[in-house]
Amino acid sequence: MPRRHALELFLKQVQMFRHLSAAERQRAAAACRERSFDRGEAIFHEGHPSDSVWLVREGRVHLLHYLTGGRVQTTCVMAPGESFCCLPALDRGSYPATAVAATPAKVIQLPTSVFHELMQGSPAMAQETLCTFCTRLRQVEAKGCLAHDPVDRRIAQALLTLQKKFGETIPMTRQEIADLVGTTVETAIRTISRFQKEGRVRSTRGKLALLQPDALKQLLS
């Protein structure tokens, strides 16, 4: 399959671009650049000027904040088909986080100028984009409200959020879960081990299977 046609099909599956006409998707695909990153490689850095909208095509991308003392806070986990760090596309500001390939990844880079032109020509796309951003902001707000809650509640919430992206099996390590909820890996291991004994999850190397999502939801009530 020709590269541009494959990109058109990919964009058609991405929520923000699903309302574009075939001609508009062709134009977007022509402007896109596909890039490959190794695990641990930075895609862009927090504070740098933004010039693109980014989409995950394959693999997994994490958005990170580097804190004092060498600590790292994972703010978001992006799965295939998701856009990341798109807010600067609206105000042309700097990137609010550092994007790192958590696995070998392929990402699509669309120039911000083209993204703006597409939104201006498609009110439906503009509406879809705003809805996507609002959903992300709600997730950030919910995470912030849980910041001082017990770690078991934070991990339960993280697992339920990740389930929406990956399904019942979440392809993440306990260290990655710890970075996402802001705790130590030792605490994450203890908490997930307890969840496993209670029959809520099954932990294997680099993966977590949610066996009883409703039981995790009860921790949040």
pLDDT higher than 60, residue 40 = yes
Count how many residues are written for the chain: 221
pLDDT tens column, 124-160: 898 888 888 777 777 666 665 566 689 999 999 999 9
SS3 per residue for 117-145: HHHHHCHHHHHHHHHHHHHHHHHHHHHHH
Model confidence at 205, in pLDDT bands (50, 70, 90)?
A: confident
Tens digits of residue pLDDT in 16-31: 898 899 999 999 999 9
Which range, of 3-12, 47-56, 100-109, 191-200, averages the lowest pLDDT?
3-12
Provide the total of helices (H) and of strands (E) in the chain, helices listed first: 9, 11
| pTM of the model as a whole | 0.86
Q: Is the pLDDT of residue 1 over 70?
A: no
SS3 (DSSP) at 78? strand
112: left (phi over 0), alpha (psi -120 to 50) or beta: alpha
Q: How far apart are the first and last CA of the chain?
A: 49
Residues 107, 95: Cα–Cα separation, whole Å: 16
Looking at residues 95-119, what average pLDDT do you find?
94
Q: Could you give the domains of the chain? A: 3-145 (2.60.120.10), 151-218 (1.10.10.10)
